[in-house]
C-alpha cells in the first residue's frame, strides 16, 4: 500500500515548497541517529516481536468511554434506534401470546367436536392470523429502520475517527515516525477503524435489541406462569458465569490479533516498498521467514480468540436446552392439573426458546465488543500521543516569505535523536542574508541533521537557531517552514499531473506562474515531450519519468514557492553529467539573491560558495572559502585532494 496519495490542503499549506517526505528519509543512518525501531528496511518490524503474545488490554473501560464520546453527537439518532428496537421487540414478542390463543381455540374446538357440542371457530382463528401478520410486518419495518439508522451512525463515527487520525498524523513529531513502521501507522486508519465500525454496526443495535427482547419476554413469561418463569431463569446464572469466563480468557487474544494485524501490515508495506532491494540482495528467503514468524503468531492469536468465542454458541445452546427440558416437564404437569391452558404452555415454550436467543446474542456480542475495545485502545493510544508544540508568538517573522531577509544564526546548538547519543555537539555559525553556505564532511558528520533542525523537524537539546534575530522556537513551525524551500536528493512527487506537482509549492499559483517556474527550472523542454505535457499524470512512485526529470520538477516547485532561504541536499548526486549541468544551472538561478544551504559530497560543485562549513563528528572544525580552506591544508584540503585523485583515477 503506497502512502504517496494526494496531500490534504492542511498538509500542503504546512509544507509548501518543501519536499518533506524526502526530508524524513534523506541523509545517512548516522545523520539520522540510531533511531531504534525505525523500520524503514525490508526486514523492518522486528521491534514488535513478542507483542503478539497474549497481551491484555491496558485500559478497556477508558477506550470504551473515549468511543462513547464519538457517539454523543448521535444521541437523538440513538434514541430513535432504541425506540425502533423497543417497538420491533414489542410487536415480535406479542406474537407467541396471540398465537397461543389460536392454539387454545383449536384445542377447545377439537374437544367440542369430539364431544359433539360444537366445532373449530375458523373465523376467529383467521382474525388472529391477520393480527399476527400485521404485528410481524410492523416488527420487520421497525427492525429495518433500526438497522438503517445504526449503519449511518457507525459510518459517521468511522469518518470522524479517520478524520481525527489523519489530522493527528500531521501533528505528530518526527520522533514518532522514527519508532513506528509505516504499516503500523496505516493499520490504525484501516484495520482498527474498520473493526470499530463493524462492531458498532453489528453489536450496538444487537445489544439494544437483545436487552429489550430479554425484558419483554421476561414480562410475558411472568404473566403466563411464575413457576415456569423461575425454572427458566434458573439456568441464567450458569450462562453468565460461562460468558464471564470466556470473555476473561479471550480478551488478551483479541488484542493480540489487532496488534498482529498491524505488525503484518507493516512488514508487507515495507517489504514491497523496497522490493528491488529485496530482490537485489536475494532477501526473499529471509523476508518469507520473517513473514512466516509474524503470520504464525497472528494465526496463534487468531485461532485462540475465534475458538474461545466459538464456544459461546454451542455451550449456551446446551445450557438453554437444559432449561427448555425443565420447562416442558413442568408445563405438561400444569396442563394435566388444569392450571394452564394448552395455548399458554405453547406460548411459554416459544418464549423460552426466544429467551435463550438474546442471552446467546449478548454472549456472542461480547466477543465483538472485545475486538472493538482492542481496536479502540490502539486508536486512542495514537490520538493521545504528544504532538509537536506550535507556539504562536507574533515576533519578527510575519509569516510571509517576502518579509524574511534570510539571516540565519546557529548559537551553540546541541542535539541528539536519542538523549544519550549526541549527534550535534556545539554548532555555532552566522550566515548573512543572500550568502551561499556549503556544508561538507564525511558520512555521519551531522550535515543533514543540521537541515532538519533548521526546519524544526526536531527540537534542540540546548542552544538556539535564529532567523533574522528571532529564535525559531518562539515561532509557529508553519511560519518557520514557509520561509524555506527544499530540494533534496530523494525526490517526492505524488500521483497527480505535473502541473499539480509543481503547484504544490504554492497552491494559489496560476497556470502561467507554474509554466514560468518550469521554464526557470529548465524543465519545460522535457515536459513538452511527454504525452499531454503539463497534464501528464505521474504514477504512485513517479517511475514513469527519469530521476533527473523528477529533480527538475522539485526545483520548479521551489521556484514557485519563491522562498527566501533554500536548502539543497545532494540534489545532483544521482544523475548523469548532462542532466547535472541542467540541474546545476537551474539551482544557480534559484539560489540567486537567496540565503542557501548546500549539502554536497562532490566538493567541485561548491567552489563558489561564500562560506564552506566543514563538519566532523557533530562540530564545525573548519570554515572559510574554497581557496582559504585549500591554502590552510587542513581536513577540507585532504578531503578535496582525495576526492580529486579518486575522480582522476
| pLDDT tens for each residue of 581-601 | 777 777 778 788 888 888 877
Asked if residue 523 and residue 574 are part of one domain, the reply reads no
Q: What is the pLDDT of residues 246-280, one digit of tens each?
A: 777 777 887 788 788 878 877 887 777 777 777 77
Predicted local distance difference test score (pLDDT) of residue 58: 58
With cut-offs at 50, 70 and 90, classify the pLDDT of residue 400: very low
Percent of the chain with pLDDT over 90: 6
Is 39 domain-assigned?
no
- Euclidean distance between CA atoms 322 and 47, whole angstroms: 50
Predicted local distance difference test score (pLDDT) of residue 59: 66
pLDDT higher than threshold 60 for residue 39: no
Q: How far is CA 192 from CA 103, 126, 199, 293, in A?
A: 51, 52, 11, 22
Of 102, 143, 138, the C-alpha closest to 123 is: 102
Strand, coil or helix: 436: strand
Between residues 50 and 176, the one the model is more confident about: 176
pLDDT higher than threshold 60 for residue 345: yes
Provide the domain limits for residue 446. 405-483+564-649
Residues 6+ away with beta carbon under 8 Å from 236: 359
pLDDT higher than threshold 70 for residue 14: no
pLDDT higher than threshold 50 for residue 148: yes
- Poorest-pLDDT segment among 20-24, 95-99, 566-570, 614-618: 20-24
Predicted local distance difference test score (pLDDT) of residue 643: 67
Of 640, 635, 628, the C-alpha closest to 600 is: 640
Predicted local distance difference test score (pLDDT) of residue 189: 85
* Cell numbers describing residue 245: 469466563
Check if the beta carbon of residue 147 is closer than 8 Å to that of residue 85.
no
pLDDT higher than threshold 50 for residue 32: no
Q: What CATH number is given to the structural domain containing 363? A: 1.20.1560.10
Q: What is the pLDDT of residues 536-553, one digit of tens each?
A: 998 877 778 888 888 888
Of 192, 211, 329, the C-alpha closest to 263 is: 192
- Euclidean distance between CA atoms 173 and 2, whole angstroms: 21
Domain count, the chain: 3
Between residues 171 and 8, the one the model is more confident about: 171
Helices (H), 6-74: 9-15, 20-25, 29-32, 60-71
Predicted local distance difference test score (pLDDT) of residue 458: 85
Residues belonging to the chain: 649
Check if the beta carbon of residue 483 is closer than 8 Å to that of residue 403.
no
- Euclidean distance between CA atoms 561 and 17, whole angstroms: 5
Asked if residue 635 and residue 505 are part of one domain, the reply reads no
pLDDT higher than threshold 50 for residue 402: no
Strand, coil or helix: 546: coil
Asked if residue 314 and residue 260 are part of one domain, the reply reads yes
Calculate the CA 540 to chain-centre distance: 19
- Euclidean distance between CA atoms 235 and 242, whole angstroms: 11
Predicted local distance difference test score (pLDDT) of residue 645: 55
Predicted local distance difference test score (pLDDT) of residue 502: 92
- Choose the final residue of a domain: 562, 597, 616: 562
Asked if residue 542 and residue 598 are part of one domain, the reply reads no
Asked if residue 439 and residue 295 are part of one domain, the reply reads no
pLDDT higher than threshold 70 for residue 102: yes
Q: What is the pLDDT of residues 194-251, one digit of tens each?
A: 888 888 877 777 787 888 888 888 888 888 888 888 887 877 777 777 777 777 777 7
Is 20 domain-assigned?
no
Cβ atoms < 10 Å from Cβ of 478: 16
Q: What CATH number is given to the structural domain containing 547? A: 3.40.50.300
Is 186 domain-assigned?
yes
Q: How far is CA 306 from CA 58, 309, 518, in A?
A: 21, 5, 58
Angle between helices 511-520 and 547-561 (to 10 degrees): 120
Asked if residue 579 and residue 506 are part of one domain, the reply reads no
* Cell numbers describing residue 85: 428496537
Q: How deeply is 18 buried, as exposed, middle or buried, from its count of CB atoms within 10 A (0-12, 13-18, 19+)?
A: buried
Supply the DSSP symbol for 421.
B
- Residue where the block lists cell 450496538: 204
Task: Please state the three-class secondary structure of 87-108 as a single string.
Answer: HHHHHHHHHHHHHHHHHHHHHH
Predicted local distance difference test score (pLDDT) of residue 498: 92
- Ordered DSSP codes for 311-322: THHHHHHHHHHH
- Choose the final residue of a domain: 562, 584, 612: 562
With cut-offs at 50, 70 and 90, classify the pLDDT of residue 574: low
Check if the beta carbon of residue 146 is closer than 8 Å to that of residue 88.
yes
pLDDT higher than threshold 90 for residue 141: yes
Between residues 10 and 131, the one the model is more confident about: 131
Predicted local distance difference test score (pLDDT) of residue 389: 64
Is 328 domain-assigned?
yes
Average pLDDT over residues 310-318: 75
- Euclidean distance between CA atoms 32 and 417, whole angstroms: 7
Between residues 79 and 120, the one the model is more confident about: 79
With cut-offs at 50, 70 and 90, classify the pLDDT of residue 90: confident
Asked if residue 464 and residue 603 are part of one domain, the reply reads yes
Q: What is the pLDDT of residues 492-542, one digit of tens each?
A: 888 889 999 999 888 888 999 999 989 888 888 889 999 999 999 988 777
pLDDT higher than threshold 90 for residue 339: no
Of 493, 480, 560, the C-alpha closest to 19 is: 493
Q: How deeply is 118 buried, as exposed, middle or buried, from its count of CB atoms within 10 A (0-12, 13-18, 19+)?
A: exposed
Is 47 domain-assigned?
no
- Euclidean distance between CA atoms 590 and 517, whole angstroms: 10
Of 70, 135, 123, 346, the C-alpha closest to 228 is: 346
Check if the beta carbon of residue 384 is closer than 8 Å to that of residue 401.
no
Asked if residue 196 and residue 181 are part of one domain, the reply reads yes
Q: How far is CA 450 from CA 132, 458, 540, in A?
A: 79, 10, 30
Of 397, 458, 430, 457, the C-alpha closest to 18 is: 457
* Cell numbers describing residue 627: 581557496
pLDDT higher than threshold 50 for residue 22: no
Give the Cα-Cα-Cα angle 480, 582, 646 (nearest 5 degrees). Answer: 95
Check if the beta carbon of residue 286 is closer than 8 Å to that of residue 274.
no
- Euclidean distance between CA atoms 41 and 27, whole angstroms: 15
Asked if residue 227 and residue 166 are part of one domain, the reply reads yes
Predicted local distance difference test score (pLDDT) of residue 60: 67
Average pLDDT over residues 483-487: 83
Average pLDDT over residues 117-143: 84
Strand, coil or helix: 644: helix
Residues 6+ away with beta carbon under 8 Å from 97: 220, 223, 224, 347
- Euclidean distance between CA atoms 341 and 336, whole angstroms: 10
Is 101 domain-assigned?
yes
- Ordered DSSP codes for 174-200: HHHHHSS-HHHHHHIIIIIHHHHHHHI
Asked if residue 265 and residue 221 are part of one domain, the reply reads yes
Is 392 domain-assigned?
no
Is 182 domain-assigned?
yes
Asked if residue 305 and residue 197 are part of one domain, the reply reads yes
Asked if residue 441 and residue 510 are part of one domain, the reply reads no
- Choose the final residue of a domain: 542, 562, 582: 562
Amino acid at each position: 500500500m503506497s502512502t504517496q496519495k494526494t496531500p490534504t490542503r492542511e498538509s500542503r499549506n504546512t509544507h509548501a515548497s518543501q519536499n518533506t517526505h524526502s526530508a524524513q528519509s534523506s541523509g545517512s543512518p548516522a545523520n539520522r541517529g540510531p533511531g531504534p525501531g525505525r523500520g524503514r528496511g525490508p526486514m523492518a518490524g522486528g521491534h514488535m516481536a513478542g507483542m503478539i503474545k497474549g497481551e491484555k488490554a491496558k485500559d478497556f473501560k477508558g477506550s470504551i468511554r473515549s468511543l462513547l464520546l464519538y457517539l454523543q453527537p448521535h444521541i437523538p439518532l440513538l434514541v430513535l434506534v432504541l425506540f425502533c428496537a423497543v417497538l420491533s421487540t414489542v410487536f415480535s414478542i406479542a406474537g407467541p401470546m396471540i398465537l397461543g390463543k389460536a392454539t387454545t381455540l383449536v384445542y377447545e374446538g377439537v374437544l367440542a367436536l369430539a364431544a359433539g357440542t360444537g366445532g373449530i371457530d375458523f373465523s376467529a382463528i383467521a382474525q388472529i392470523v391477520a393480527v399476527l401478520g400485521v404485528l410481524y410486518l410492523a416488527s420487520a419495518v421497525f427492525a429495518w429502520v433500526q438497522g438503517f439508522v445504526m449503519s449511518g451512525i457507525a459510518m459517521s463515527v468511522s469518518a470522524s475517527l479517520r478524520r481525527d487520525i489523519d489530522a493527528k498524523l500531521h501533528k505528530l513529531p518526527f520522533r514518532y515516525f522514527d519508532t513506528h513502521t509505516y504499516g503500523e501507522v496505516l493499520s490504525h486508519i484501516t484495520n482498527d477503524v474498520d473493526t470499530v465500525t463493524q462492531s458498532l454496526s453489528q453489536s450496538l443495535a444487537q445489544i439494544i435489541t437483545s436487552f429489550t427482547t430479554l425484558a419483554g419476554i421476561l414480562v410475558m413469561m411472568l404473566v403466563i406462569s411464575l413457576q415456569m418463569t423461575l425454572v427458566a431463569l434458573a439456568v441464567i446464572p450458569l450462562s453468565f458465569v460461562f460468558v464471564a469466563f470466556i470473555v476473561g480468557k479471550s480478551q488478551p487474544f483479541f488484542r493480540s490479533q489487532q496488534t498482529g494485524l498491524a505488525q503484518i501490515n507493516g512488514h508487507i508495506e515495507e517489504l514491497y516498498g523496497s522490493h528491488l532491494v529485496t530482490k537485489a540482495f536475494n532477501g526473499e528467503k529471509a523476508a518469507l521467514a520473517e513473514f512466516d514468524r509474524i503470520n504464525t503468531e497472528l494465526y496463534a492469536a487468531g485461532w485462540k480468540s475465534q475458538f474461545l468465542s466459538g464456544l459461546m454458541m454451542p455451550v449456551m445452546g446446551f445450557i438453554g436446552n437444559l432449561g427448555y427440558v425443565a420447562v416442558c416437564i413442568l408445563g405438561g404437569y400444569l396442563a394435566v392439573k388444569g392450571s394452564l391452558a394448552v395455548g399458554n404452555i405453547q406460548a411459554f415454550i416459544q418464549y423460552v426458546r426466544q429467551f435463550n436467543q438474546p442471552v446467546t446474542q449478548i454472549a456472542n456480542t461480547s466477543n465483538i465488543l472485545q475486538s472493538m475495545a482492542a481496536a479502540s485502545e490502539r486508536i486512542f493510544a495514537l490520538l493521545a500521543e504528544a504532538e509537536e508544540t506550535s507556539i504562536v508568538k507574533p515576533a519578527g517573522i510575519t509569516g510571509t516569505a517576502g518579509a524574511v531577509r534570510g539571516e540565519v544564526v546557529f548559537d551553540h546548538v546541541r542535539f541528539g535523536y536519542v538523549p544519550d547519543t549526541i549527534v550535534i555537539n556545539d554548532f555555532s555559525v552566522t550566515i548573512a542574508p543572500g550568502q551561499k553556505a556549503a556544508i561538507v564532511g564525511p558520512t555521519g558528520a551531522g550535515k543533514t541533521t543540521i537541515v532538519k533542525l533548521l526546519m524544526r523537524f526536531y527540537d534542540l537539546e540546548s542552544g538556539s537557531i535564529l532567523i533574522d534575530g528571532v529564535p525559531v522556537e518562539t515561532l509557529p513551525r508553519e511560519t518557520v517552514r514557509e520561509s524555506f524551500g527544499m530540494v533534496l536528493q530523494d525526490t517526492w512527487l505524488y500521483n497527480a499531473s505535473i502541473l499539480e506537482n509543481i503547484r504544490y509549492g504554492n497552491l494559489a499559483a496560476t497556470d502561467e506562474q507554474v509554466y514560468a517556474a518550469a521554464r526557470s527550472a529548465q524543465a519545460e523542454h522535457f515536459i513538452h515531450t511527454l504525452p499531454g505535457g503539463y497534464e501528464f499524470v505521474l504514477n504512485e512512485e513517479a517511475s514513469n519519468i527519469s530521476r533527473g526529470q523528477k529533480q527538475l520538477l522539485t526545483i520548479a516547485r521551489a521556484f514557485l514557492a519563491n522562498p527566501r532561504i533554500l536548502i539543497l541536499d545532494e540534489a545532483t548526486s544521482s544523475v548523469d553529467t548532462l542532466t547535472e549541468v541542467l540541474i546545476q544551472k537551474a539551482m544557480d538561478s534559484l539560489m540567486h539573491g537567496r540565503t542557501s544551504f548546500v549539502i554536497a559530497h562532490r566538493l567541485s560543485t561548491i567552489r563558489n560558495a561564500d562560506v564552506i562549513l566543514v563538519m566532523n563528528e557533530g562540530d564545525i572544525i573548519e570554515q572559510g572559502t574554497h581557496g582559504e580552506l585549500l591554502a590552510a591544508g587542513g581536513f577540507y584540503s585532504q578531503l578535496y585532494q582525495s576526492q580529486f585523485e579518486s575522480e582522476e583515477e
